[in-house]
Amino acid sequence: MTRETYLAELATYLKRLPEADFEDSMAYFTELFDDAGAEGEAELMASLGTPREAAAEILSHFKVTVDNQNKPMNPSESETDDQNRSETSQYERLPEFNHINIKLDYENVIIIASTDHSFGLSHPTLKSSIRYCVKNGVLDIESLKKDYRINSIGMGFRHFISKQFQETDNLIISLPKDYSLNNLSLNLGSGDFQLKELTILGCSIALGSGDVDVVDSKVHQTTVNTGSGDIELTSSHLEDVNLNTASGDIIVTNTQTNSSMIVANSGDIECKGGQISQVEMVANSGDIDLDMHYKGLNKIETSSGDITIKGFEEHYHRLSVTAETLSGEIEVSLQDSGDRLFEGRYTHSVSAPSDQLYLQTNCGDISLG
């Protein structure tokens, strides 16, 4: 089959798409052939599959098959299908498990407490798009690979589909509310992760692109890394946790955080309510804004950004503070005769201090108000 024949046959299958989607899809495939050149056409077509197979993947996002491609598409059909997708998720009750291993390309992953104290799995296309099994107390979940996904061309095709139709399915895992999960390992290419009303004793989360949202949960010995996305923690308890986002904000609300490391490489850190104890926070390019309680020694640093400590007067008589800025100003709302503020350095000491706050910024201001 030649390039011209492939594209012509593909067009006959895709002609039911809305005009803009049809043109974008055909432009994408044409560009693929242009990049591959005459010498790479055979490899490209082998990676994409037949025109029918490539079209079927796209049309499936509109709940259309290649067998009824001559039927005109209702302009509102895709919106209706998106709504139906969330309402028709397939659910399967699972045997008990205490470990979860997840490797997925494009999904939202949600782990929540079940209403009936059962273990279960829910997804719009449960058996056709993911592979899963429970063995020896371990739930393994991974993307169901197809031939066109096995190389860089195929992964680019899958990425185009995900972005073009802005559709990411929800994979929902449910556990009993009072259950403690021993370990979670999540590797997600693109998609969000949410944890709600559960306890996890050990956790490793890696997201290429997506947000992390933890609500009403207890999390221990956990590492979270996101390439692009926000990390938000609400009404939770964190113990020995390492949070790191390359590009995104970290927001912590009414959460107790102990013996942890929080890093935003390009983004802000905001904490309101709750408490930190033995915590180090670093914003390499962004601001840090704190309004909470402090126990033990906590270190707050920015390379390029401001540090704001709200409610400082509430902690003034029990909290020792050292603040330093190499290029910026320090503003303090309350001082006594023992405090020292001179040339970018401020110190406030209390007798027999058990709680200490160390603030440092290379290029930014520090405000204690």
- Give residue-wise pLDDT tens across range 160-205: 655 555 456 789 999 998 899 999 999 998 889 999 999 999 999 9
Question: pLDDT tens, 283-315?
Answer: 999 999 999 999 999 999 999 999 999 988 888
Helix axes 19-48, 3-14, angle to 10 degrees: 130
Are 216 and 283 in a shared domain? no
Are 170 and 212 in a shared domain? yes
pLDDT at residue 147 greater than cutoff 90: no
Write down the pLDDT at residue 123.
85
Write down the pLDDT at residue 47.
82
> Cα(92)–Cα(109) distance, rounded to whole angstroms?
16
Write down the pLDDT at residue 220.
96
β strands within 203-318, DSSP E: 203-209, 212-215, 218-226, 231-234, 237-245, 250-264, 269-285, 288-295, 297-304, 307-309
Average pLDDT over residues 64-89: 45
Write down the pLDDT at residue 298.
95
Write the CB contacts of 290 (distance below 8 Å, at least 6 apart in sequence). Answer: 270, 271, 272, 300, 307, 308, 309, 310
245: pLDDT confidence band, cut at 50, 70 and 90?
very high
From residue 198, how far is each of 52, 152, 176, 194, 340 by CA, in Å?
Answer: 44, 37, 8, 11, 46
Are 169 and 213 in a shared domain? yes
Write down the pLDDT at residue 66.
54
Write the CB contacts of 110 (distance below 8 Å, at least 6 apart in sequence). Answer: 170, 171, 172, 173, 193, 194, 196
> Cα(13)–Cα(34) distance, rounded to whole angstroms?
21
User: Between residues 115 and 127, which one has the greater pLDDT?
Assistant: 115
Its domain, for residue 236, covers 89-248
Write down the pLDDT at residue 152.
46
Helix axes 51-59, 19-48, angle to 10 degrees: 130
Write down the pLDDT at residue 75.
40
Are 223 and 294 in a shared domain? no
Are 268 and 236 in a shared domain? no
Q: Domain boundary at 215, 248, 281, which?
A: 248
Write down the pLDDT at residue 156.
54
Q: Domain boundary at 32, 61, 84, which?
A: 84
74: pLDDT confidence band, cut at 50, 70 and 90?
very low
Q: Return the SS3 of 133.
A: strand
pLDDT at residue 53 greater than cutoff 50: yes
User: Between residues 210 and 72, which one has the greater pLDDT?
Assistant: 210
Are 108 and 217 in a shared domain? yes
Write down the pLDDT at residue 286.
94
Are 270 and 186 in a shared domain? no
Write down the pLDDT at residue 159.
54
Write down the pLDDT at residue 337.
63
Are 127 and 207 in a shared domain? yes
Mean confidence (pLDDT) of the chain: 85
Are 35 and 104 in a shared domain? no
Total structural domains within the chain: 3
Are 283 and 244 in a shared domain? no
pTM of the model: 0.74
Q: Which two tokens mark 314?
A: 């509430």
Are 225 and 147 in a shared domain? yes
Write down the pLDDT at residue 243.
97
> Cα(317)–Cα(293) distance, rounded to whole angstroms?
13
Q: Domain boundary at 213, 248, 283, which?
A: 248
Average pLDDT over residues 265-276: 95
Are 263 and 342 in a shared domain? yes
Q: Which two tokens mark 199?
A: 């306890």
46: pLDDT confidence band, cut at 50, 70 and 90?
confident
Write down the pLDDT at residue 106.
81
Highest-confidence segment of 44-58, 210-224, 312-326, 330-344: 210-224
